[in-house]
Amino acid sequence: MPKLKGLYLPREAYASGLLDTGDGHQIYWERSGNPKGKPAVFLHGGPGGGCSAVHRQLFDPNDYDVMLFDQRGCGRSLPHASLENNTTWHLVQDIERLREMAGVDQWLVFGGSWGSTLALAYAQTHPDRVSELVMRGIFTIRKQELQWYYQDGASRFFPEKWQNVLSILSEEERKDVIAAYRARLTHSDRAIQLQAAKIWSLWEGETVTLLPTEDSASFGEDDFALAFARIENHYFTHLGFMETDDQLLRDVDKIRHIPAVIVHGRYDMACQVQNAWDLAKAWPEAELHIIEGAGHSFNEPGILDRLIRANQKFARS
């Protein structure tokens, strides 16, 4: 068996700043790696998760010039936890603004979980601006995917954790968990918002890896939880602001010419492996890797290995 590839050594960003979108948001961005390297953009998960320094380590700093940014309302972007002017299509516009700011014609687009959703939406809107796609933990924001994770599916594998999600809801509210949390996460009382946000965020933090990790505790931190839960619930309430339930699969023909790698954990509880299979069936030219013994997180060994290999391959293309 070949040795699994891991993260590159930590590296500081060589440039960073805030991009004013002109409609009330300021987007935190940073660039790292080789300023003369292959352009790439990293799309974080959530929505509402934000990017972190470890995400720079997915790219060889000698080969890539990678743009990382915090999507609207989360991380270091401002205003914090804002839902106003915050839709998938606003984010697609932001990616284009960042590309233009970077002065590149095309770039590799890398996204996992919600980042894969956004990668597909961006590529289908601007196919001529994408040189390659690397996607992990496929999420196409269909109703069946949301039903699985927030109503009746993953809860059967984590009954004690799901009980905590239900603990603040009445019997009637439990019939539509996303809607019930929406009411709390947009409540005028910050304490009510925060209570719901921590529960919502920890549900995800404690179920995205195959085995429990200490990292899940960070999902319960006030600032992170508030942005993560409010923004994620906002997008899920509106079904990702898509025209149709299957829009991202429907429009695959627009991007079938783009070289793509799809990586998905066999035991991903947040986003079922069926999602990756459905995408690959619609896109037979894409390279699909189903990783045994892995859940959802990018840093599970088998998943990380395949992501690093994909980036290495495309660095030479």
* pLDDT digit string (tens) for the chain, length 317 residues: 679 999 999 999 999 999 999 999 999 999 999 999 999 999 999 999 999 999 999 999 999 999 999 999 999 999 999 999 999 999 999 999 999 999 999 999 999 999 999 999 999 999 999 999 999 999 999 999 999 999 999 999 999 999 999 999 999 999 999 999 999 999 999 999 999 999 999 999 999 999 988 888 899 999 999 999 999 999 999 999 999 999 999 999 999 999 999 999 999 999 999 999 999 999 999 999 999 999 999 999 999 999 999 999 999 88
Q: Does residue 27 contact residue 51 with C-beta atoms inside 8 Å?
A: no
Quickly list DSSP for 260-278: EEEEEETT-SSS-HHHHHH
Domain 15-142+241-315 sits in which CATH superfamily? Alpha/Beta hydrolase fold, catalytic domain (3.40.50.1820)
Helix residue spans in 17-172 (DSSP H): 88-102, 114-125, 143-150, 159-166
The pLDDT tens digits of the residues spanning 175-193 come to 999 999 999 999 999 999 9
Contacts of 286 (CB under 8 A, 6+ apart): 133, 260, 261, 262, 279, 280
Tokens, residue 245: 């339930």
Q: Residue ranges per domain, the chain? A: 15-142+241-315, 144-240
Residue 49 and residue 227: Cα distance in Å, rounded? 8
Neighbours of 9 (CB within 10 A): 7
DSSP character at residue 142? -
Question: Three-class SS string for 10-51?
Answer: CCCCCEEEEEECCCCCEEEEEEEECCCCEEEEEECCCCCCCC
- Global confidence as pTM: 0.97
Residue 11 main-chain phi, psi, to 5 deg: -145, 140
Tell me: the pLDDT tens digits for 37-94? 999 999 999 999 999 999 999 999 999 999 999 999 999 999 999 999 999 999 999 9
Six-digit token pair at 28?
A: 């935190």
Please give the positions annotated as active site. Answer: 113, 268, 296
Q: What is the pLDDT of residue 316?
A: 86
